[in-house]
Amino acid sequence: MTYMAHNQKSSKKHFQVDPLLMPKVPRTNYMHLQEEKNRLQLKKFLLHRMFLVGHIKANIEKKEISEYYEQLFQSILKHHLGEAVTGLLLIYSSTFLHILETSNGTLFRILLDYVAREKEEKEFMIQNVKIIVASHNIPTRLFMQWHVSAIKVPVLYLEDVTQSQSLAEVTTDFLTMTHKLGLHLFKTVKVGAKGPGDNLHQVAPELLLPEQTIQYLCKSEEFMDPATFLNMYNRPIHVTLDSEIVWPAPSRF
């Protein structure tokens, strides 16, 4: 008994790790680096940017659309902790362009509200919405606030160039011009200001998209509507490994 007890004590000493042998270099991984980067930037959530286009119901005022979104943003922030929404909403005569910057959960709830209202209301003020692109984990915001601007483009800027361009070319021009417009507003609009106002066609006419471009993108079947996007978002991912495929198929007796 004494011999066995002595052996157990000696074995415990044998497996103890000497503190001097522990690695002195701290070990980390990519997730830790991302979390530290977000902490230094005071970011609680990953930031995403989404570009939307769509039609608006006839005889709808700019104030009605802006109030709908402002109430929606406030309601989401009350019930869902996330990043505040920044971006730009350009309202044309029959279409709109919307750029949103916020967390993934907030974007999900904005699209969810639109789908719900589209089913409940026969003629919702926003119609035929298409998601042009969604950029994930963007480093910084392009907009410091959420702005709304009504665009009254003169006939001089309504030349339709979509008839002679492919979808890829139209989409490239769309993203290029919207980013240039965002950079222009980032440099000119001060934090806390009301926004660019309704005279963008006078201040920066070369940076505004023609309404025909937005109409062209709304009709394109290549882009997903919010309902299709949400169905894909909620769809579980099933991965079949090669080891799961056996031939001949197993038979039971």
What is the per-residue pLDDT for 249?
55
What is the per-residue pLDDT for 100?
96
Structure tokens at 38: 């977000």
Q: CB-side exposure of 143: number of CA atoms within 13 Å?
A: 27
What is the per-residue pLDDT for 87?
94
Contacts of 210 (CB under 8 A, 6+ apart): 153, 157, 158, 159, 160, 161
Structure tokens at 103: 């967390």
Whether residue 14 is contained in a domain is answered as no
CATH number at residue 109: 3.30.70.100
Report residues of the chain scoring pLDDT below 70: 1-44, 153-162, 191-195, 198, 236-253
Whether residue 220 is contained in a domain is answered as yes
Whether residue 32 is contained in a domain is answered as no
Enclosing H/E stretch for 209: none
Whether residue 64 is contained in a domain is answered as yes
Give the position of tokens 């006419």.
205
What is the per-residue pLDDT for 159?
55
Query: Which residue range forms the structural domain that includes residue 128?
Result: 42-231
d(CA 138, CA 141): 8
Taking a C-beta distance cutoff of 8 angstroms, is the pair 118, 225 a contact? Answer: no
Q: Starting at the edge strand that comes first in sequence, how are the strands of the sheet with 146-150 ordered?
A: 126-135, 48-56, 95-102, 86-91, 146-150
CA-CA-CA-CA torsion sign (103, 105, 108, 110)? negative
Whether residue 78 is contained in a domain is answered as yes
Say whether 47 sits in a helix, a strand or coil: coil
Report the domain count for the chain. Answer: 1
Whether residue 166 is contained in a domain is answered as yes
